[in-house]
Structure 1
Amino acid sequence: MFDPAATSDPTTVQPFMSDWLEALVSTALLVLVVVIARAAVGRAIKRGVASHDLRRRWLVQTRNGLLLLLLLGLVIIWGSELRTLALSVVAIAVAFVVATKELILCVSGSVLKTGARSFTIGDRIQIKDIRGDVIDQNLLATTIMEIGPGKLTHQRTGRVVVIPNALFVSEPVINESYTHDFVLHVFTVPFKREDDWRTAQRALLAAAKHQCDPYLPEVRRHMKRISEQQGLDTPSVEPRVTMQIPSAGEVHLIIRVPAQAPRRGYVEQAILAECFEHTDYAAPKQPESAAADNPDTI
């Protein structure tokens, strides 16, 4: 690094100027020697070689050899200065990378999501605990309209989240709109083991079919077209209700229905409202006298 205080000292300036002056004189002498040598050798070749092809070959080889000799001489003469310059360039490059690390990661994340075609404007995505509809994206950040609260709801919170593209380098992205116009929507209804969950299962399936029947043929055509484009098997779009037992005392009914991407929340609420409109499927309460007589309930 250049130090003004050091250069103001005559004992420091004199060796510095002496080294540069010596390097410049050596460079001039080297160039002069190479020029004279090329002229002398070229004259000797032209006089001593009769064949035109051989003479041209010798002239070219001599020129290339002297040029290589000149480059080697310059490297030897300016070696210490080149090392100093290289160290300075490396230090500047390292400082630049450290100072702009986040910006570089953002640009890398933008290139990654664009190359992988992870999502487009209008898709509903989730990254870490952030979930929403993509409304804008650029080289440094992606803007989404937040959906929530939580992962099970499908209504907008009114908040906008700006996600730095650096997250796409290290975190997986969930695209809930991969099939675009229509999606397969899944939600869960929990019950206790003693509840009338079997009747609820039949009621949920009937409500799901009732809500999906009007647009089910259109969903089949859409899914078939997407499968042909992506080279995948056509998924079944029929509404279904499956059972899951997460613990000994619980039964979860998993409902999967096709729905238009922006109306998945509406379809879910319509199915739940139709199913639970007249009954809650809870287990009947035992009379207090019967509970007292039965020691297993204590």
Structure 2
Amino acid sequence: MWEDFIKYLGEAIDTSGNPAEKILYTALLLGIIFFIRHFAYKAAGLVFSNEKIRRRVSRIAVLAITIGAALGIILLWFNALNSLFIIAVILAVILLFSMRELIVKVFSFFYIRTVKPFTAGDRIEIAGAYGDVEEISLFKITLIEVRGWLHTATPTGRLIHIPNRSIFNGSYANESNAFPYVWRDLEVPITHQSNLEKAFAILQAAGKRELDLLVAKDHAQKERLESQAEFFNSNLLPQVTMWVDGNGVCLTLRYLTRNTEMAASETRLWKYIYHRFAGTADIDYSPAALAVQFPQAQPHSQAQPNFPAE
């Protein structure tokens, strides 16, 4: 296509007239463009004192002179009919180039609506933003921001507007579409002298309690949960691992929760673990951790507080 157009330009050149004069006029027009580009800003400053108006006028002057000089060069080297065709082609190319963003956005909208990588209500991560999809419009995706500057995965109160073409510019993750659950890690630091077996048992019981609550809420999805867990090379049962450093022993509880209840589940687990540790004499927190103070009336009670599910 481009080869044909270049061939057409070679055949459409107007050979009449003095070539030296055409070259001279062409050099003169190019010189005018060069002069205007370098001195338009200073010239506008002589008339306008406002910086914004000064820059705007200089840009408009450069654009107008450049377009006029380009048209003059085309009319100089080609006859009228060929010049009109070449100008039309150049304008069409400029129009397509300026509208490429619009074309990509519209195509992205129909792609999202047709393929449905995510829909309204899904929790996704895209273009560095994380949140719940509020709306998918012709040009943008609106997210209810989650987490943001907050430590917990809760809405920040902001709406984030992302160009829908971002789906083609990088990776994205949908936490709601196929598997609306995530694995979370809860790190509990204790001293070297603590009873590890008891600490392991308390964390496993806390994770099992959270899993039972999850299955009780979504009992019909238990088989689906198990199959999806196998797909992610994991299982539903909570796992406890440990690592040791100079400050003590860090136990890590890995548990499954809904992606929309991460903050609530973490709060329930911490409450359960704190109260169980408070009733166990041979488990102490690492010196690097801050302990929670409980009322004196129940310093070593084994009874579990009746925390709400949410």
Q: TM-score, normalised by structure 1?
A: 0.54
CA distance in 2, matches of 1:226, 1:144: 27
Corresponding residue for residue 131 of structure 1: 130
Corresponding residue for residue 102 of structure 1: 101
1:136–1:143 contact (8 Å) kept in structure 2: yes
What amino acid is aligned across from residue 205 of structure 2 in structure 1?
A
The one of 263, 269, 272 aligned to 1:271:
269
Q: Indicate the SS of the match to 2:181.
A: strand
CA distance in 2, matches of 1:210, 1:223: 15
Q: Note closer, same or farther for the CA distance 1:192–1:234 as it changes in structure 2 (3 Å cut).
A: closer
Corresponding residue for residue 184 of structure 2: 186
Q: Note closer, same or farther for the CA distance 1:220–1:196 as it changes in structure 2 (3 Å cut).
A: farther
1:54-73 equivalences under 5 Å are none
Corresponding residue for residue 210 of structure 1: 209
* Structure 1 position 81, deviation (Å): 7.0
Corresponding residue for residue 139 of structure 2: 140
Q: Indicate the SS of the match to 2:211.
A: helix
* Structure 1 position 116, deviation (Å): 3.8
1:136–1:142 contact (8 Å) kept in structure 2: yes
More helix by share: 1
1:219–1:258 contact (8 Å) kept in structure 2: no
Q: Note closer, same or farther for the CA distance 1:170–1:121 as it changes in structure 2 (3 Å cut).
A: same
What amino acid is aligned across from residue 170 of structure 1 in structure 2?
N
What amino acid is aligned across from residue 203 of structure 1 in structure 2?
I
* Structure 1 position 159, deviation (Å): 0.8
1:191–1:197 contact (8 Å) kept in structure 2: no
* Structure 1 position 129, deviation (Å): 2.7
What amino acid is aligned across from residue 237 of structure 2 in structure 1?
P
What amino acid is aligned across from residue 136 of structure 1 in structure 2?
E
Q: Indicate the SS of the match to 1:273.
A: helix
Q: Indicate the SS of the match to 1:163.
A: strand
Q: Note closer, same or farther for the CA distance 1:195–1:271 as it changes in structure 2 (3 Å cut).
A: farther
* Structure 1 position 200, deviation (Å): 4.1
1:195–1:283 contact (8 Å) kept in structure 2: no
What amino acid is aligned across from residue 181 of structure 2 in structure 1?
V
Q: Indicate the SS of the match to 2:121.
A: coil
| Structure 2 unmatched ranges of 5 or more | 1-16, 18-78, 289-310
Q: TM-score, normalised by structure 2?
A: 0.52
| Structure 1 unmatched ranges of 5 or more | 1-14, 16-79, 286-298
When the two structures are aligned, how many residues end up with a matched partner?
204
Q: Note closer, same or farther for the CA distance 1:124–1:282 as it changes in structure 2 (3 Å cut).
A: same
* Structure 1 position 101, deviation (Å): 3.2
Q: Indicate the SS of the match to 2:285.
A: coil
What amino acid is aligned across from residue 267 of structure 1 in structure 2?
S
Q: Which is further off, 93-102 or 163-172?
A: 93-102
* Structure 1 position 133, deviation (Å): 0.6
2:119–2:133 contact (8 Å) kept in structure 1: yes
Q: Note closer, same or farther for the CA distance 1:196–1:165 as it changes in structure 2 (3 Å cut).
A: farther
Corresponding residue for residue 162 of structure 1: 161
Corresponding residue for residue 93 of structure 1: 92
* Structure 1 position 106, deviation (Å): 2.0
* Structure 1 position 107, deviation (Å): 2.2
RMSD: 4.0
2:105–2:138 contact (8 Å) kept in structure 1: yes
* Structure 1 position 86, deviation (Å): 4.4
Q: Percent identity?
A: 21
Q: Deviations over 1:160-183 (max 9, x none)?
A: 111111211112111111246x52
* Structure 1 position 147, deviation (Å): 0.6
Q: Deviations over 1:252-276 (max 9, x none)?
A: 61512143x5333212211122112
1:196–1:281 contact (8 Å) kept in structure 2: yes
Corresponding residue for residue 262 of structure 1: 260
2:185–2:255 contact (8 Å) kept in structure 1: yes
* Structure 1 position 214, deviation (Å): 3.9
* Structure 1 position 136, deviation (Å): 0.7
Q: Indicate the SS of the match to 2:177.
A: coil
